[in-house]
Amino acid sequence: MTYLKQNQRIASYSFTDLITNVGYLNIIASDTNDATAGTEYILMTQVIPTDTKQTSFGAGATKDFEITFQQSQILEGDAIIRYHWLMDSNGNPSDGDCTVSIVKNSTVIASSIQTQLSTSSLAEDEAVNKITLPRTHFGVGDVLKLRFVMVASNPGRVYLLHDPANGTVAFVGSYQSGNKTNTKCEAYLPFKVIS
């Protein structure tokens, strides 16, 4: 029988990069719809189907998908964020911007700005962003947030798709609609491997 010392922890990662000694954990954006609490944007490590598969940012908004740590961990290295965002317009030219950030509690650790979408009808981007995270300790009770800030010039509207099951989403915008694929919103977060 093997006993663990008090300071040892067992960690499970989606995959481990042996060259950098970093364990990557895949977290998936989703939301809950509670009649009392309203919509909560969450991060999870397993695919759990949800009814809501798109979020409207209107002409501009900030949405935080979050998870609370139950054990201490250290994040450091390159996080990879994959998401599908759209902008629709009523026929007049519009521009949209998206900034993705990794946040600890209320402090932004690092961000990435996605290239601008421009359209007079419907534009979309299946984006993959790399965000380099400095060494950051998360203790028990700390909240990690995957923050999306999206803004569109009038009359444009911006949307984020986030189907945990990565199914086809019947997108319905303010002006345009259509079926969309590659709809999972996810991040691969770099954790220092515990030796």
CA distances from 44 to 5, 27, 35, 139 (A): 29, 5, 21, 18
Cα 44 from chain centroid?
10
Of residues 49 and 157, the one with the higher pLDDT is 157
User: Mean pLDDT throughout 130-152?
Assistant: 95
In contact, 100 and 115? CB cutoff 8 Å: no
Residue 65: closest CA among 37, 101, 23 = 101
For residue 52, the model assigns a pLDDT of 75
Asked if residue 50 has pLDDT above 90, the reply is: no
DSSP character at residue 53: -
Name the 3-class secondary structure at 49.
coil
The phi and psi torsions of 182 (rounded to 5 degrees) equal 50, 60
C-alpha dihedral over 62, 30, 170, 127, to 10 degrees? Answer: 60
User: Mean pLDDT throughout 170-191?
Assistant: 90
CA 166-171-174 angle, to 5 degrees, is 150
Residue 73: closest CA among 178, 181, 193 = 193
Residue located via tokens 């397993």: 46
Domains and their CATH numbers in the chain = 15-192 (2.60.120.260)
Q: What is the pTM of this model?
A: 0.87
CA 154-160-165 angle, to 5 degrees, is 160
CB atoms within 10 A of CB 40: 13
Q: In whole numbers, what is the pLDDT of the chain averaged over residues?
A: 85
CA distances from 192 to 140, 186, 189 (A): 16, 19, 10
Q: Could you tell me the pLDDT band of residue 65, with boundaries at 50, 70 and 90?
A: very high
For residue 194, the model assigns a pLDDT of 62
